[in-house]
Structure 1
Amino acid sequence: MKEIMSELQSYPSEKYKENVVRLGIPRESSMGVPMISIRKMARKVNKNNQLAWQLWETDYHEAKLLATFLSEVNKLTYQDINRLMSDVILWDLCDHLCKELIFKLHNYLEFVLEWVKSSKIYYKCAAFTLIATSVIHEKDIHTETMNVYLSLISNYSQDSHVHVKKAVAWALREIGKRNFEDNKKALQLAYEFKSSDDKAQIWIGKNVIKKIAGVIKVTERLISANTKTGKTQK
């Protein structure tokens, strides 16, 4: 533990520290270690939950990020995940917890269904981050599951916090990038948001339309209607 903390403290970057302080991390909780250095360290250390918890409890932002890479996912309990989430005060730690740990749990969808209803900012962010991560990495998502994701986005997107709005928009954009059918569903919902009375949904709708409205058109131009692939998309 002492050796790891000493190594972490040997990679200071004042520029990185100023960036995370601007994002909301207290100056005293940041060592100024760039993510590239944290990833490099993680590759050299065996996963170990005891070590990961020790790093997490130092309360240093970079030590917590390193802990997400060193945790043994298959040994984490429901209580462990909620304990970790309760300490999250910044979006990048939320993102790393979701992508490096929670998404790798077989029952991660249970957390999505629970947290999407939460009044706590980063629990809600985590729910939509997990949806986006699922859409990106799982190639065979059933239509029923995708419809559940769209329903959750529709029902729980009225949140004005900037990090929640961005997480919702990310999830909807990733759905819209998957294929023709999902693109249409995502755009339909985005246009509904754009014409709604809720400011958060209006922002999300405009963001998603701007980013994915041309995706299906570009794909259609690239896939000739005379090819087998093109015919299947008609």
Structure 2
Amino acid sequence: MNTQEIITKLQEMASEKHKANVVKLGIPEENSIGVSTGDIRKLAKSIEKSNELARELWETGYHEAKLLAALLFDKKKTTMEEVKALMQDVISWDLCDHLCKNLIIRIKGYENLIPEWAESEMTYEKRAAFTLIASAAIHEKKLSEDVLDNYLQLIREHSADERDHVKKAVSWALREIGKRDFDYNEKALLLAHELKESGGKAQVWIGKDALKELENLVKVEGRSRLISSKSQMGKTSRS
């Protein structure tokens, strides 16, 4: 399928319900088609990866086409310069996270973007830094203590940002580091309490939000990461 055929296919898959949801994210109505992310993922499986096609889809300006494009870029052929250019166009938290989790974290050297974007004044570049930290904490099994400690320091340094979409990503990053093991659960708990007890408004919110999860984690056989005791209790009650 070429770009126009894909756009036509997306329009055929659209619903007013999903379009309303996209508009609620702050996407202009003229850039919204109205297709769920799940359906976009299914469509992506039927299309061969192509950076040329992905760029064309991205440049249509449609939100759903950008979500699809993120799944069609070949990580081995995508440069850091291209990734930075894509992020300049991001105006919603869902596209930010989708781009980070499905493309950027799979590109060699992505970790170099984290300290750079953490310093950015742009909302979604800054959110991307902490989305990448959260994603790395989940999926990168061999992260060193030095790297994780540096990520905790970035969280501390940037926890005063009061922008909603930034502070939520900072909390997410802190929680995911705290799920690595009991050593990092303790470190994350100490930082969360520090923010809650001696921080500003955004820091208090992050500390409280993170503690809801960090204080209720348990180790389960067969799982490499800690999980919520509430999740485990629910599983036990159903068995």
TM score, norm. by length of structure 2: 0.89
SS of the equivalent of 1:10 reads helix
> Which one of 21, 35, 50 corresponds to residue 33 of structure 1?
35
Do structure 1's residue 145 and structure 2's residue 147 form an aligned pair?
A: yes
- Give the Cα–Cα distance (whole angstroms) in 2 for the partners of residues 67 and 196 of structure 1: 43
SS of the equivalent of 1:9 reads helix
Match of 1:22 in 2: 24
- Give the Cα–Cα distance (whole angstroms) in 2 for the partners of residues 77 and 150 of structure 1: 27
Match of 1:79 in 2: 81
Please state how far the C-alpha of 1:196 moved relative to its aligned partner: 2.1
- Give the Cα–Cα distance (whole angstroms) in 1 for the partners of residues 139 and 203 of structure 2: 26
Do structure 1's residue 201 and structure 2's residue 203 form an aligned pair?
A: yes
SS of the equivalent of 2:160 reads coil
SS of the equivalent of 1:46 reads coil
> Which one of 52, 62, 65 corresponds to residue 63 of structure 1?
65
Moved over 3 A (4+): none
Please state how far the C-alpha of 1:195 moved relative to its aligned partner: 1.1
Do structure 1's residue 44 and structure 2's residue 46 form an aligned pair?
A: yes
Deviations 1:85-139 (CA, angstroms, capped at 9, x unpaired): 0000000100011011110111011100100011110000000000000000011
> Which one of 164, 167, 175 corresponds to residue 166 of structure 2?
164
Supply the AA of the counterpart residue of 2:203.
Q
- Give the Cα–Cα distance (whole angstroms) in 2 for the partners of residues 164 and 73 of structure 1: 26
- Give the Cα–Cα distance (whole angstroms) in 1 for the partners of residues 81 and 199 of structure 2: 38
- Give the Cα–Cα distance (whole angstroms) in 2 for the partners of residues 80 and 178 of structure 1: 31
TM score, norm. by length of structure 1: 0.91
Supply the AA of the counterpart residue of 2:52.
Q
- Give the Cα–Cα distance (whole angstroms) in 2 for the partners of residues 81 and 214 of structure 1: 37
Structure 2: give runs of 5+ residues left out of the alignment: 222-239
Fraction of identical pairs, as percent: 53
Please state how far the C-alpha of 1:186 moved relative to its aligned partner: 0.2
Match of 1:123 in 2: 125
Deviations 1:172-228 (CA, angstroms, capped at 9, x unpaired): 00011111000000000000000124111100000001111121xx43xx68xxxxx
Please state how far the C-alpha of 1:160 moved relative to its aligned partner: 0.5
- Give the Cα–Cα distance (whole angstroms) in 2 for the partners of residues 208 and 197 of structure 1: 14
> Which one of 72, 88, 104 corresponds to residue 106 of structure 2?
104
Do structure 1's residue 12 and structure 2's residue 14 form an aligned pair?
A: yes
Please state how far the C-alpha of 1:6 moved relative to its aligned partner: 1.2
Structure 1: give runs of 5+ residues left out of the alignment: 224-234
Do structure 1's residue 191 and structure 2's residue 219 form an aligned pair?
A: no
SS of the equivalent of 1:55 reads helix
Please state how far the C-alpha of 1:78 moved relative to its aligned partner: 2.3
Supply the AA of the counterpart residue of 1:203.
W
Supply the AA of the counterpart residue of 2:142.
D
Supply the AA of the counterpart residue of 2:65.
A
- Give the Cα–Cα distance (whole angstroms) in 1 for the partners of residues 212 and 67 of structure 2: 32
- Cα RMSD for the two superposed structures: 1.1
Please state how far the C-alpha of 1:50 moved relative to its aligned partner: 0.5
Do structure 1's residue 94 and structure 2's residue 100 form an aligned pair?
A: no
SS of the equivalent of 1:195 reads helix
